[in-house]
Structure 1
Amino acid sequence: MAPTRTLFERASTTTTTSSASVSCTSAVPDKYGHVPIDACDAYYNFYPSFDGNLAFAVLFGITTIIHLVQAIVYKKKYCWVITMGASWELAAFAIKTIGAHDQQKLAYVIWGTLLFLLAPLWINAFVYMTVARMVYFRIPEKKIWGVRAIRLGTLFIWLDVVCFLVQVGGGSMLSSDNSASTIRLGQKIYMVGIGIQLAFIVLFGGMTCWFYYRLAQLEGHSNLGRIKYLIWTMITVLVLVMVRIIYRLCEFGPGVSEDNPILANENYGFLLDAFPMLLALVLMNAMHPGLVLRGPDSDFPSLSRKEKKALKQQKKQEKAQRKADKKARKQGGSGYEMYDSVVEEETPRPTNGRYETYREHGREEHGRHQRDSGHNSSQELMA
């Protein structure tokens, strides 16, 4: 009996007996399109479970709806990130469910696999964003390990984006339409992406533990309230993401030979990838950030449209002021009286008083110029 070949090995075979590679066989698909693993048009290393994929699709659908409702109820705009992660898991298993009864459709294999591989990146990013907001909310200096809370989330999200792009590049090469060498390269690229992601998660997990320690120092363990449960929920989610990453490293690490049983058993993916991510989403349903992040400083400050317009106008006026100063120095005049009137007329005053008006700025500059001019005149008279 010929040894069983994996999906990746089959990609390099041809139907011609004159080829140097092992020939694949022709087979008649069953009612769901399934053919033996050594057939030329076999896209699965296993017989996909319709019931298993459907069950996960339903469960991910439920948690997706709950996250969407919670984002609206708690008015947390950034929760679109976790909703996106849950919806990608839902889409992945919906496609896998359809593909289980139409196994000759390659598009179902590609999109189901790609969404399944990439969805956890959204969940990971949501943890970064939540912990950064907790630091901003409860730490007086609003930073940890010298990194400001506002920049903390942005920094790790961009690192997550890099991991995302690397994994997309590798994952897109795992189609059985590609050659075996291309698929192996895609495997390696994807493993690099998740390896980098794992390193960032370990680093961020350390920062989160330190945040908990620092907060306990400031407020005392008994006074932390719900936030301690939210912190431990975030740490648990990071651990679940790590479990999933380690599984993927073990899956692709040994290579694509028939000696790797992980590639030929769908249950590994259910147990070590789908279930940890489902559990992570459910935990964040139960201990949603909206239960804790309430009141002042519970979210990063943002400007209204009117304030953004005022700030933009302010920057334009600052640029005009610098030009006026330069021209005034050359001509020996101040130019501030004209500037003062222009600013008073054109520059809108922000409603919350966070920004200085140009009219006040112009007056200060004008007064300083007048004092300097008077001082110079006095020196000339004394001389």
Structure 2
Amino acid sequence: MVEVVCLDPHDPNNNFMYCPSFPAAILFSVLFGLTTVVHLIQAFHYGKRFLWVCIMGAIWETGGLILRTLSVLHPTSTTFGVSSQLLILLAPIWINAFLYMLMSRFVYFFIPEKRVAGISAQRLSLCFVLLDITSFLMQAAGGSMINPTNSAEAQLRGIHIYMGGIGLQQFFILGFVGLVIRFHYKMNSLGGSTAWKRPLYAMYASLLLITIRIIYRLIEFSSGIYSSLTMHEAPFYCLEATPMFLALLLWNVYHPGRILVGSDSEFPKKEKKVKRGEKGLLPLSPTPSPLP
């Protein structure tokens, strides 16, 4: 029987502000591990290059929960505690980026002019992924400062930076939802096949789940280090772990590889053009005709 040591929540060496549940940590580690394995199998089966972004998010979630399990057994280990916290805080950004990349491919695949709201599919993907990276860097900087070994002032500063990053992420999501709605309206006006509807509804659901998780984090940290949410474990599993697991599970069920089939399901590869005369290449002269 595994024995969990419950330390004083106000102990500066303690990774938790409550007595953590070992079975819950094991359960969610297994759940995230299973969805990760399924995503890996599906990526191999459908052969979609951009799926690595979703897989990376699933791996970070799984790694974060495994490290959390180890942190429950070793509540004073900074290595387990900080690493787990960073992976769990940052993993949803990978899933967010996956949705941006997926929508750009929907636009490229389904819409004849390959643009929505005047934005081309390739530019849509590039712009929102760059915005996601900006949010990622802010959250990583703030999250790394929320460390029990740091002073209360440093932790509070890290919380403010992290909240700024996660608030920025939600702002980008709201703008992105507008484009998703525009795409939805455009597809309805085109008519034809409705194969796009279920994965699009899965995208709406994923964005809602990520938003629930962001709101939870904003409320959690709004009262500083010690708040009603940070002092209890249930909100973490209900409003952080469960929404992210469901967001990954949705794409196991409604996998985009089932409808993104054919040459237009991926952006065309850029071919390197070699100019004549470069790298020692001479222009080809016409073959002389044989003498009569």
Task: Determine the structure 2 residue equivalent to 1:191.
Answer: 163
Cross-structure match for 1:269: 236
Identity fraction in percent: 39
CA contact (8 A) 2:100 2:125 kept: yes
How far 1:39 moved relative to its partner?
3.2
Q: State the 1:286 CA deviation.
A: 0.3
Give the equivalent residue in structure 1 for 2:289.
none
Give how far 1:77 is off. Answer: 1.1
1:42, distance to aligned residue in structure 2 (A): 2.5
Partners of 2:155 and 2:225 within 8 A in 1: no
Q: Which residue of 2 aligns with 1:230?
A: 199
Q: Does residue 88 in structure 1 map to residue 60 in structure 2?
A: yes
Aligned letter for 1:342? L
Write out per-residue CA displacement over residues 242-285 of structure 1, whole angstroms, 9 at most, x where no aligned residue: 1100110000112234xx21010111010001100100111110
Report the CA distance shift for 1:112/1:212 in structure 2 as closer, same or farther (over 3 A): same
**Is the 1:35–1:41 Cα contact (8 Å) retained in structure 2?**
no
CA distance in 2, matches of 1:98, 1:38: 20
Instruction: Report the 3-state secondary structure (helix = DSSP H, G, I; strand = E; otherwise coil) of the residue aligned with 2:267.
Output: coil
Aligned residue identity for 1:55: L
Match of 1:111 in 2: 83
Q: Distance in 1 between matches of 2:184 and 2:263?
A: 20
Of 252, 255, 263 in structure 2, the residue corresponding to residue 296 of structure 1 is: 263
Find the partner of 2:110 among 138, 163, 167: 138
Pick the structure with greater CA Rg.
Answer: 1
Give the AA of the match of 2:194: G
2:209–2:243 CA contact under 8 A, matched in 1: yes
The answer to whether the Cα contact below 8 Å between 1:92 and 1:113 also exists between their aligned partners in 2 is yes
* 3-state SS, counterpart of residue 263 of structure 2: coil
Q: Any gaps of 5 or more consecutive residues in structure 2?
A: 287-292
**In structure 1, distance between residues paired with 2:123 and 2:156:** 37
Match of 1:202 among 174, 181, 187: 174
2:221 to 252, 272, 296: 252
Residue 290 of structure 2 corresponds to none
Deviations 1:336-369 (A, max 9, x none): xxxxx92227xxxxxxxxxxxxx9xxxxxxxxxx
Q: Look up the equivalent residue of 1:117 and give its one-letter code.
A: L
Please state whether the residue corresponding to 1:293 is helix, strand or coil: coil
Aligned residues: CA RMSD? 1.9
Aligned length: 284
- Distance (whole Å) between structure 1 residues aligned to residue 75 and residue 223 of structure 2: 26
Q: Deviation per CA, 1:45-72: give whole Å up to 9, x if none.
A: 0111111011000000000000001011
Deviation at 1:40, TM superposition (A): 4.5
Q: TM-score, normalised by structure 1?
A: 0.71
TM-score (norm 2): 0.93
Maintained 8 Å contact 1:34/1:104:
no
Structure 1 runs, 4 residues or longer, greater than 4 Å off: none
Cα distance between partner residues in 2 of 1:105 and 1:256 = 19
CA distance in 2, matches of 1:286, 1:130: 15
What amino acid sits opposite 1:169 in the alignment? A
Match of 2:250 among 260, 283, 298: 283
Question: How far apart are 1:34 and its partner, in Å?
Answer: 3.3
Structure 2 equivalent of residue 62 of structure 1: 34
The runs of 5 or more residues in structure 1 that have no matched partner are: 1-30, 321-340, 346-358, 360-383
Q: Is the 8 A contact 2:143 2:158 kept in 1?
A: yes
Aligned to 1:342: 282
Alpha-carbon contact 2:108-2:265 (below 8 Å) kept: yes
Query: Which residue among 147, 152, 155 is the counterpart of 1:180?
Result: 152
